[in-house]
């Protein structure tokens, strides 16, 4: 199984959250390097920025966690680029109104479809 991680799984790996233990256990059990797209990495940085703006995290801690994330991603993950076909498929997916997906989630689905990967996410 190729595991593609979205930001909802990446963040608990960087900051203590209720899901952190489960995420850590899942990541420890992977047999191959997880897939992390450039888009998911941007979402992680965006989430950190939001936490800084809200006063929940200091800028220095956010920068340290992002540096940890960048190092972890470079050493232990397969970096996935987003391609134009992913964006186009995302547009098709969000037009399936019954799915109720936002563009961000649909883009992850599109990337996974291209890679034949399993999307690892959490609510």
What pLDDT is stored for residue 47 in this prediction?
97
Q: Is the model's pLDDT at 57 over the cut of 90?
A: yes
Check residue 1 and give its pLDDT: 79
- What's the rounded mean pLDDT across residues 4-9? 97
Rounded CA-CA distance 110/113 in Å is 5
Tell me how far apart the alpha carbons of residues 86 and 65 are, in angstroms, rounded to a whole number: 28
Q: State the residue for tokens 């019954």.
A: 98
**pTM over the 0.75 mark:** yes
Asked whether the predicted pLDDT for residue 123 surpasses 90, the reply is: no
pLDDT at 49: 98
Q: Is pLDDT above 90 for 3?
A: yes
For the chain, list the domains and their CATH numbers: 3-120 (3.40.50.1010)
- Determine the Cα–Cα distance for residues 33 and 22; give it in Å rounded to an integer: 18
């Amino acid at each position: 199984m190729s595991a593609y991680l979205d930001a909802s799984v990446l963040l608990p790996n960087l900051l203590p959250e209720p899901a952190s233990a489960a995420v850590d256990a899942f990541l420890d059990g992977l047999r191959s390097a997880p897939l992390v797209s450039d888009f998911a990495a941007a979402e992680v940085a965006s989430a950190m920025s939001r936490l800084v703006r809200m006063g929940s995290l200091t800028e220095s801690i956010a920068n340290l966690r992002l540096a940890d994330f960048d190092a972890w991603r470079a050493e232990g993950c397969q970096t996935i680029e987003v391609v134009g076909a992913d964006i186009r498929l995302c547009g098709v997916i969000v037009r399936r109104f019954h799915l109720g997906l936002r563009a961000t989630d649909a883009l992850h689905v599109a990337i996974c479809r291209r890679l034949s990967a399993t999307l690892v996410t959490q609510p």
